[in-house]
Structures are given as C-alpha cells and as structure tokens.
Amino acid sequence: MTFSAQEKEKLQKYIQGKFGNSGLTLRERSQTDDSVEVLLNGEFLGVIYKDDEDPSDVSYDFNMAILDMDLKAA
C-alpha cells in the first residue's frame, strides 16, 4: 500500500489546486508507507492515508488534528 512518486505528485497538485496554495507539499513518513504527511510551508498539518483494499476503488483520507491551544493563538 505504498505511494508511488507519480501518485504523490498528483495528490500534491490536487491539494495545492483545491486549497489555492502552492506551499502545500507532501512528504513520505518514515514510520509507515500507507500514508504521507501534508506540510504547509514546511509546517506539519496532517496526514493523507491511502485506502486501496479494493483496487478498483482507491481513495485517500486527509486527516488534520486541530489543537485547542492552536485556536487560541489564531
């Protein structure tokens, strides 16, 4: 369930376009190969998980945790 370089590039272009921000990048995770980290200008935002249990229906799940302390700073 690994991410190919081409797949990672497509996902990165998609999220950059969807959020209108070229500062969004994807980075491989050292702990696992079923997901990639999402960064905004180098700051960790969340993780995209790949679900390819059914090869004819691959999907991706973007998970972003927002801490209460981050909201206070906003």
Domain range for 17? 5-68
73 part of a folded domain: no
36 part of a folded domain: yes
Distance of CA 37 to the CA centre of its chain: 5
Is residue 36 within 8 Å of 11, Cβ to Cβ? yes
Please, which residues bridge with residue 68 across strands?
Answer: none
Please state, for a pLDDT cut of 90, what percent of the chain lies above it: 72
- Number of domains within the chain: 1
40 part of a folded domain: yes
19 part of a folded domain: yes
Q: Please state the pTM of the whole predicted model.
A: 0.87
Could you give the CA distance from residue 1 to residue 45 in angstroms, rounded to a whole number?
22
Could you give the CA distance from residue 20 to residue 15 in angstroms, rounded to a whole number?
8
Q: In this predicted model, what pLDDT tens digit does every residue of 19-59 receive, in sequence order?
A: 999 999 999 998 888 899 999 999 999 999 999 889 899 99
Please state, for a pLDDT cut of 70, what percent of the chain lies above it: 99
